[in-house]
Structure 1
Amino acid sequence: MQIQDLPYPDPGVPDTRSGPRFLWWLWRNQLGGQLKSLAWGLLHFVSVSALPFCVGLAVQAAIDRSGRRLALTGGLMLICGTGIALGDTFLHRAAVTNWITAAARVQQLLARKAAQLGSALTRRVAAGEVVAVSTGDVEKIGWFVEAVSRFSAAALTVVVVCVGLLVYQPALGVVVAVGLPVVALAVLPLLPRATRRADVQREKAGRATELASDTVAGLRVLRGIGGEELFLDRYRRASQEVRHAAVRSARMWSLISAVQVLLPGLLLIAVVWHGIGLARQGRITVGELVTVYSAVMVLNYPLRHFEEIAMAYSFSRPSARRAARVLALERSTATDGIRAAEVPGGDLYDPATGLLAPAGRFTAVVCGDPDAAGRLAERLGGHPAEPGRSVLLGGVPLDELPLDSARTAVLVQDKDPVLLSGTLRDLLDVPASGAVPAADALAAAQCEDVLDALVQGSLDAADPMDARITERGRSLSGGQRQRLALARSLITDPEVLVLDEPTSAVDSHTEARIAEGLRRLRSGRTTVVFTSSPLLLDHADRVALVHEGEVVAVGVHRELVDSEPRYRAVVTRETDEELSAADEGMLLDALQELEEIEESA
């Protein structure tokens, strides 16, 4: 896999049983790139490590005044230099490729999981954690997956050099062969503490990210209630905790780095001290002493990769654990023989509340609790809060349908729909049946003034469809964003369309026209609207009142206003005193009518 071939046609099915298993799965799935990196790493490290032998041969050739051996050594050094240049160049290329492809695979897996779970993802995992996994954690995971092959090349090089020194000069080679494992493994006792501190830092950073994400999402509300300073102080404290944790983690890694510098230095001193004694005794030549000294010096370079792999694993392990936890989330798909292309029809029924939306009818749902309404809307979209509490579409549990069928059958537009940046044409380019043209959907959603505003706010777009929309539609008003989102939902033309307060941010005149357009355009299709607006309710074929989690009344708007006090309380915003007065007035009117009837009789 090359970078230009990304994204993957299929990122695969990850092993999410644990963080280390997920890392191992990633490494195995780019084995070709890892082997390339290992091969180029061996060429580079071995070429670097061979230079001391060439230097030693050159020194000994100069002492012996052998021009032939000196020329031969020069040729060997030229070969080593070429190997260093080629190995370093292509090792870097392979390493970066492995890093990017591993990170891209994780991002694709996360994007696929987000698409599968939809709004249920943020109900199971905090939004800040999803952001942290898809940004910083992805880079750390890619770093470890890439570093494994370079570490393997460095470790093999150390083994090769030790064996070479034992063969070349056994007296000094034994010292190096015994000392190098000690140098390489000396930091192991420090790694658990460093890993724990890195985990604490990651945990605090994740909480700070969640706090920042939640603050940004609710910034408009915070400004309205004057809570900016309060949340700013909270984030400031959270960021300071992250800083302190990062300093504590950095101290431990500084200690590990110091050990990695100190111990090779001590090994080098021991080799030189012992080598000088052997040279005085005539047991080794000056060239052999220079060779061993230079080899130990050069080995510091591959030994640094032992520290890097330990650091990469410590930082990537919690990241991989978080990614595996997100990727392990599943949606029940007991299809019972239903194929992905099949979209069931029929009534939409929620056993938990008793809500029934007849097929092809416009059903309005009135719920006094906005949060409960939002949860019910999500459940109607096939995301039950509890297993076994699924909504039925034509008698089939919605969460047991194949994902493609469920998405085609039911579309849920929540209270705060998101508008992605791009042109209006891009915004409306969504999977659709093709039965509803964009012009009809925009007209039904009363978007004429929105189109004019987009053209006026654009510098070079004469056609509203080519006008650009900023991120989340921030350049538009709340009502304009809401109407564009409604038009997008209408274009898809699903079998069942669920709208949660689709007109809460528009004026009453616009709302009345939207109600008429919605009823006309969705004629013959199942439409469920959560609303308390009389203008929408009056256009519904059927209105259901949900109170304390159950449907307590069903009828049409005008009947329920007259006969159901709880319905009237939600729709007209009457207080208990007003309701009592209204009921008393209705009773007096009835008594007066009865008296008039008796008098006329």
Structure 2
Amino acid sequence: MQIRDLPFPDPGHPDARSGPRLLIWLGKQQRRQQVVAALWGTLHMAALACLPLALGLGVQAVVDRSGERLALAGGLLLVLGALAAAGDTMLHRVAITNWITVAARLQQLLARKAAELGSALTRRVAAGEVVAVSTGDVEKIGWFVETLSRFAAAVVTTVVVCVSLIIYQPALGMVIAIGVPLLTLGVLPLLPYATRRADVQREKAGRATELAADTVAGLRVLRGIGGEELFLDRYRAASQEVRAAAVRSARMWALIAAVQVALPGLLLIAVVWYGVGLAQDGRIGVGELVTVYGAVTFLLFPLRHFEEIAMAYSFSRPSAQRAAQVLALQRSGRAPTSTDVHAFGANTGDDPVELGGDLYDPATGLLAPAGQLTLVVCGDPDAAGRLADRLGGHAPGVPEPAKLATDTHEEADEANTANTADRAAHTAAASDVARQNDNPTARPDTPPASGAPSVLLGGIALDDLPLIAARAAVLVQDKDPVLLSGTLGELLDVPCSGTVSAQEALDAAQCGDVLTALAQAADDGSGDPERAKITERGRSLSGGQRQRLALARSLVTDPGVLVLDEPTSAVDSHTEARIADGLRRLRTGRTTVVFASSPLLLDRADRVVFVPDGAVADVGTHRELLLTNPAYRAVVTRQSDEEPVAVAPGGSTHQTTEARKIEESA
């Protein structure tokens, strides 16, 4: 794999059971490149190891006044120098390629996981943690994989040199053979302390990054309420904590660096002192002493690779563990079986099964009949957002991520039991759909549990569908949709059925004033709103304009099931009424679920479902529920239960604000 071939067509399926297993898997993906790098590293270090021998031959030739041997030693030095340069150049090239490719593979895996989980990712892992894993942790893992080849070359060269020294000069060779392993192990006790301090620094840096991202995202609101300085002070404090942690970590690494210099220096002094004594006794020649001295000096070079691999592993192991935890997250509590995958046409040559029918959540009892506009009133905006995500199959449900592997038979039995129970829950939920079609006000027999089954679409569990099929079937627009930077034409250029044109969607979302503003801001002066630039997250637009453009984008997509969470919360009542009419017109015959408590939207719904405490409490039309359900009336009209509600002869309600809004929309 060359850098020019990146990104990978398929980064593979990692072993995310633990950090070490992930490191092993990444290493296996680069077996060939690692072997090539190790061979170049061995050539480089072998040439360096032979330099002391050539130098010793040259010194001895000078002592013996032999010009022929001196010339031979000089030629040998030139050849070894050329080999060392070639080996070092190619080792560096292949090793850095290994680093970049493993980092790219891991980042592709993390990006794929982020796309798979969607908004559920940041509910299970903090945003700052995700950023830290995809940047700093990826770099540390790449560092470890890159050092493996140089470590392998250092091990081979060190063993060969030590054995050769024992054969060449047994007395000095034994001192070196004993001293080198001691030097290798000398720095290891300090590494856990350095790793812990580095982890503290990383954790604090992740918190500071998350705080900075939140501050920037809400800067406009902070300025409006005068809270800008407060959050800046918080960030300053967080950054100072990061600085203090970095200083503590640097002190430990400075101590390790000092040990790495001091211990090899002591070995070198001991070898020279002992060797000089041997030379004075006439037991070795001057050239042999120079050769041994040069060999010891060379061994300090691979010794640094031993210490580097220990440091790299100490850093990369917790980083790999964090990456593995992210990669092990699953969209649902149970991964699709091979039968499920074949049934829905994923990764096969068959056409996928057409999805349709009623949308049903067995955890809450919420039913959205096919082809109807269903309004859901929760009362709690956070609960509405969570339920909207569940309906789209984006939320992981309440269950924890399923284990990717079981180490004992007991754990395997528990996993099989859980899967069987999940299947039974899905089957029971499917029968609940039929019962609720007959009795719309029926409530679920049990409240939502921690192991809530998947939402069903036409009796099919969304969590069992391949991700691409689930997202094609159900589109969820949350209450704070994101607009990416680009032109209006690029914003509306989304996968769609082709039934709804961009102009129809813009008209239904009441984007006329937005188009006028964009036409005036077009950079090329053409007056074409589709060429106007939209800044990142639509910051150049008002909240209502962003909301309406996002709604137009969702309408263009024209999915089989559209779930909208508070799509008109930032617009005025007149615009909201026209949007409600446009939404009903464009989505005729299509399943649409809207989470809102606005009377203007509720009055145009085919069906209103009241979900106050995590379970369906009542079902009917807006006017029916206003008359029969005091709790619903309190949520929608913001009135106490004691206030009377007058009913006109036509069945319409005339009560303060709620009545006036309905009359305004008429």
How many angstroms apart in 2 are the aligned matches of 1:183 and 1:401? 56
Partner of 1:113: 113
How many angstroms apart in 2 are the aligned matches of 1:307 and 1:424? 55
Deviation at residue 156 of structure 1 after TM alignment: 2.0
Greater mean alpha carbon deviation, residues 123-132 or residues 201-210: 201-210
Q: Deviations over 1:180-214 (max 9, x none)?
A: 11111111222222223223333333333333334
Partner of 2:368: 357
Q: Deviations over 1:426-447 (max 9, x none)?
A: 3333332233333332332223
Deviation at residue 496 of structure 1 after TM alignment: 0.5
Q: 1:333 touches 1:402 (CA, 8 Å); kept in 2?
A: no
Partner of 1:207: 207
> How well do the aligned residues superpose, as a CA RMSD in angstroms?
2.3
Greater mean alpha carbon deviation, residues 12-21 or residues 434-443: 434-443
Match of 1:485 among 545, 550, 564: 550
Partner of 2:53: 53
Partner of 1:188: 188
Deviation at residue 377 of structure 1 after TM alignment: 0.6
How many angstroms apart in 1 are the aligned matches of 2:498 and 2:587? 14
Q: 2:42 touches 2:157 (CA, 8 Å); kept in 1?
A: yes
How many angstroms apart in 2 are the aligned matches of 1:467 and 1:42? 59
Q: 1:362 touches 1:540 (CA, 8 Å); kept in 2?
A: yes
Q: 1:343 touches 1:409 (CA, 8 Å); kept in 2?
A: no
Greater mean alpha carbon deviation, residues 378-387 or residues 21-30: 378-387
Aligned to 2:642, the other structure's residue is in SS state helix
Alignment gaps of 5+ in structure 2: 347-351, 399-449, 652-666
TM-score of the aligned structures, taking structure 2 as reference length = 0.83
Identity fraction in percent:
73
Identify if the C-alpha distance between structure 1 residues 492 and 191 changes in structure 2 by more than 3 Å, giving closer, same or farther: same
Aligned to 1:551, the other structure's residue is in SS state coil
Deviation at residue 459 of structure 1 after TM alignment: 2.3
Identify if the C-alpha distance between structure 1 residues 153 and 448 changes in structure 2 by more than 3 Å, giving closer, same or farther: farther
Aligned to 2:135, the other structure's residue is in SS state helix
Identify if the C-alpha distance between structure 1 residues 143 and 422 changes in structure 2 by more than 3 Å, giving closer, same or farther: farther
Correspondence 1:388 to 2:399: no
What amino acid is aligned across from residue 44 of structure 1 in structure 2? H
Match of 1:342 among 346, 353, 377: 353
Correspondence 1:441 to 2:452: no
Partner of 1:425: 489
Partner of 2:431: none
1:212-227 → structure 2 map (5 Å cutoff):
212-227=212-227
1:146-157 → structure 2 map (5 Å cutoff):
146-157=146-157
Match of 2:381 among 365, 370, 374: 370
Aligned to 2:618, the other structure's residue is in SS state strand
Partner of 1:289: 289
Q: 1:128 touches 1:214 (CA, 8 Å); kept in 2?
A: no
Partner of 1:497: 562
1:223-262 → structure 2 map (5 Å cutoff):
223-262=223-262
Match of 1:415 among 449, 454, 479: 479
How many angstroms apart in 2 are the aligned matches of 1:544 and 1:43? 74
Correspondence 1:522 to 2:603: no
What amino acid is aligned across from residue 547 of structure 2 in structure 1? Q
Partner of 2:603: 538
Identify if the C-alpha distance between structure 1 residues 425 and 150 changes in structure 2 by more than 3 Å, giving closer, same or farther: farther
How many angstroms apart in 2 are the aligned matches of 1:437 and 1:296? 77
What amino acid is aligned across from residue 527 of structure 1 in structure 2? T
How many angstroms apart in 2 are the aligned matches of 1:46 and 1:451? 70
Greater mean alpha carbon deviation, residues 302-311 or residues 363-372: 302-311
Match of 1:459 among 523, 527, 548: 523
Partner of 2:39: 39
What amino acid is aligned across from residue 365 of structure 1 in structure 2? V
How many angstroms apart in 2 are the aligned matches of 1:356 and 1:427? 32
Correspondence 1:406 to 2:417: no
Q: 2:522 touches 2:531 (CA, 8 Å); kept in 1?
A: no
Identify if the C-alpha distance between structure 1 residues 72 and 464 changes in structure 2 by more than 3 Å, giving closer, same or farther: farther
Deviation at residue 535 of structure 1 after TM alignment: 2.3
Deviation at residue 586 of structure 1 after TM alignment: 7.3
Q: 1:357 touches 1:528 (CA, 8 Å); kept in 2?
A: yes
Deviation at residue 562 of structure 1 after TM alignment: 4.1
What amino acid is aligned across from residue 582 of structure 1 in structure 2? P
How many angstroms apart in 1 are the aligned matches of 2:175 and 2:86? 32
How many angstroms apart in 2 are the aligned matches of 1:363 and 1:166? 85
Deviation at residue 563 of structure 1 after TM alignment: 4.0
Q: Deviations over 1:351-386 (max 9, x none)?
A: 222221110111111221111111111111123224
How many angstroms apart in 1 are the aligned matches of 2:108 and 2:516? 38
Q: 1:461 touches 1:467 (CA, 8 Å); kept in 2?
A: no
Match of 2:620 among 536, 555, 565: 555
Alignment gaps of 5+ in structure 1: 591-601
